[in-house]
Structure 1
Amino acid sequence: MAQPSALAPVHRLVPSPAGRVHLVEQGEGPLVLLIHGFPESWYSWRRQLPVLADAGYRAVAVDVRGYGRSSRPDRVDAYRMLELVEDGVAVVEALGADHAMVVGHDWGAGIAAHSALVRPDVFRAVAMLSVPYAPRGGPRPSEVFAGTGGGPEEFYVSYFQEAGRAEAEIEPDVRGWLAGFYAALSADTMPGPDAPDPHLVTRGGRLRDRFPAGLPHWLSESELDVYAGEFERTGMRGALNRYRNMDRDWEDLAGFDGAALAQPSLFVGGTRDASTMWLSDAIDAFPKTLPGLVGSHLLDGAGHWIQQERADEVNRLLVEWLAVARSAP
């Protein structure tokens, strides 16, 4: 693994359509924008920033709208996908660049993919971690998720839809909830196949009732403090509002129905991540949906938080992909 970059990470605030975006940048060279997922922050990329900097890139990890020190608009519809794409464009412009390569994890993978889809002039290569690209199509997302679970159980995406509901569960003990959520989706701490599914909640119950105890290997107590401190300060509403715009996104993106991503692309997932299992058909469709695919990798035994669980492997794959992507016409 590369040694830490001599260039220290720098925190900055730059203007965005919602007000401001907080970012952390390290290194010099072609711009690489790193977009986190739920419930995380720029800090999710702490193991990538110095490695990408040492490889000759200007690595920039943002707090997505609603998180950390970035702006948190009150309106739920301010968190629709097209708004988040424009935040990324604003970051690129504020940093004095005209284009970037974009990398996303979890919801950040969706933001990265749609940034490349909607603004290919700005985002000329795209890497997705844990959540594969699946073109817009089919029924409304709310209709799909409403049928997941069934009976006395509700899928977590549906559980997150009603404003205030999940907040009431999480905010009284943010640190404990985050610890359980991270553990539930990590390969070394996730519940076994005979345990209740942590992606489901008993109607009238709480999601956390199915979380395991203990921290995954990739997360120390002090690192958990960083995540918890951010959400204790901001609350969870901005982060959860991403889930509350899925039907709006489906409407907004109607003109991109079935669209492929032509840019040089990369996918990295884990074999023990539910996202790669649920979306296996999307991975199988990559020859059609990602014609510029440079590599698709499923890391054996890895869970959902892949760039933190398996940092060395992910860093190697990112650097290899970036070398191809930066030389593409």
Structure 2
Amino acid sequence: MPEQQPVHPTAHHPVHRVVEVPGGRIHCVEQGSGPLVLLVHGFPESWYSWRHQLPALADAGYRAVAIDVRGYGRSSAPAGVDAYRMLAHVADNTGVVAALGERTAVIVGHDWGSRIAADSALLRPDVFTAVGMLSVAYSPHGGPRPSEVFASMGGEEEFYVSYFQRPGRAEAEIEPDVRGWLAGMYTGLSGEENHGGLFFVPPGARMADRFPAGPLPAWLSEADLDVFAGEFERTGFTGALNRYRNMDRDWEDLAAWRGMPITQPSLFIGGAADASTTWLSDAIDAFPTTLPGLVSSHLLPDTGHWVQQEQPERVSGLLVDWLRTVAPVTA
């Protein structure tokens, strides 16, 4: 039988691979060739969140690589809660760049991936030459301990980050009906719904109790939901939720970077109908100070939290326009 030849990614052919990094293994989906653009998803998602951007960036002349963050998909899922601290995610991203044979990359993240991308750029400016942030605006480290801030929010109701803290608690709500829970979360934070109230959990209730009923949003097909649900049905949610359980550790680990801006060229894209954008409006207003290298900032109307999936062509176009200024493609 002839030896199978390796498959190389092209603009029309994505390739899955798992690369070794110091902290374990990271699953990557790669498409195209050219300057490296690392795409980092948020909660509760996967590399598949970038399914529209991979071919668009590849067609524009970039080597687009979407990862499964540790704890998700086919990437390593260490058992210890503290294995999901921000320093580990930054090390994973740095390790992926090296494993792909590159020395530098542009990094783009959404939701938690936005914060991971921002901190990757903050801690390793030698590796990450530009940073794009979707849905979650950058704010410098500092201020009170996060657990104290979250505990003070919501009055009698519990803020979702606090609800996620105790290992096993949120898992017990989510894992009996992964597909249904994801459908409610994706629908509830879409531009059509804008259910900011689902971030708060009344005493004795579940987060899902405030999820909207009804059809999936237009941007999410049943087949798309099957992909997301299939991954979490296999892996469970503990690895994903452990990111939230390290915010106080991050506050301690990153004390040396308190108040520091990100100086590399940057981009922000948010949804005007996203509660995260509303909560972080002060952070967006502070961009001239906190992101002195900001190239452009965009709030997309009638768009919720899942910006690159809700408005794929618009977001891909904005990314390509920005990339052409920060990482030009050479002929």
Q: Flag whether TM exceeds 0.5 (same fold).
A: yes
Say whether the 8 Å CA contact 2:14–2:30 is kept in structure 1: yes
Q: Match for residue 279 of structure 2?
A: 278
Q: Match for residue 197 of structure 2?
A: 197
Letter in 2 for 1:280: S
Structure 1 residues 198-277: aligned runs within 5 Å: 198-213=198-213, 214-277=215-278
Shift of 1:327: 4.7
Show structure 1 runs of 4+ deviating over 6 A: none
2:116 to 108, 111, 114: 111
Shift of 1:239: 0.1
Letter in 2 for 1:128: M
Instruction: State the alpha-carbon separation in 1 of the partners of residues 286 and 60 from structure 2.
Output: 31
- 1:154 is the counterpart of 2:169: no
Q: Match for residue 143 of structure 1?
A: 148
Say whether the 8 Å CA contact 2:194–2:273 is kept in structure 1: no
Q: What is the root-mean-square deviation of aligned Cα atoms in Å?
A: 1.1
Letter in 2 for 1:172: P
1:58 to 50, 58, 63: 63
Q: Match for residue 77 of structure 1?
A: 82
Shift of 1:6: 4.3
Letter in 1 for 2:260: A
Shift of 1:232: 0.2
Say whether the 8 Å CA contact 1:92–1:99 is kept in structure 2: yes
Shift of 1:19: 1.5
Letter in 2 for 1:134: S
Instruction: State the alpha-carbon separation in 1 of the partners of residues 238 and 266 from structure 2.
Output: 32
Instruction: State the alpha-carbon separation in 1 of the partners of residues 305 and 314 from structure 2.
Output: 14
Say whether the 8 Å CA contact 2:138–2:283 is kept in structure 1: yes
Say whether the 8 Å CA contact 1:189–1:215 is kept in structure 2: no
Q: Match for residue 167 of structure 1?
A: 171
Q: What secondary structure sits across from 1:198 in the alignment? A: helix
Aligned length: 319
Say whether the 8 Å CA contact 1:188–1:217 is kept in structure 2: no
Shift of 1:120: 0.3
Question: Where does the alignment leave 5 or more consecutive residues of structure 1 unmatched?
Answer: none
What's the TM-score, normalizing by structure 2? Answer: 0.95
Q: Deviations for 1:130-154, whole angstroms, at most 9, x for unmatched residues?
A: 0000000110110110011112x11
Say whether the 8 Å CA contact 1:160–1:243 is kept in structure 2: yes
Shift of 1:18: 2.5
Structure 1 residues 3-82: aligned runs within 5 Å: 6-82=11-87
Say whether the 8 Å CA contact 2:23–2:91 is kept in structure 1: no
Instruction: State the alpha-carbon separation in 1 of the partners of residues 182 and 143 from structure 2.
Output: 32
Q: Percent identity?
A: 69
Say whether the 8 Å CA contact 2:194–2:275 is kept in structure 1: no
Instruction: State the alpha-carbon separation in 2 of the partners of residues 218 and 301 from structure 1.
Output: 13
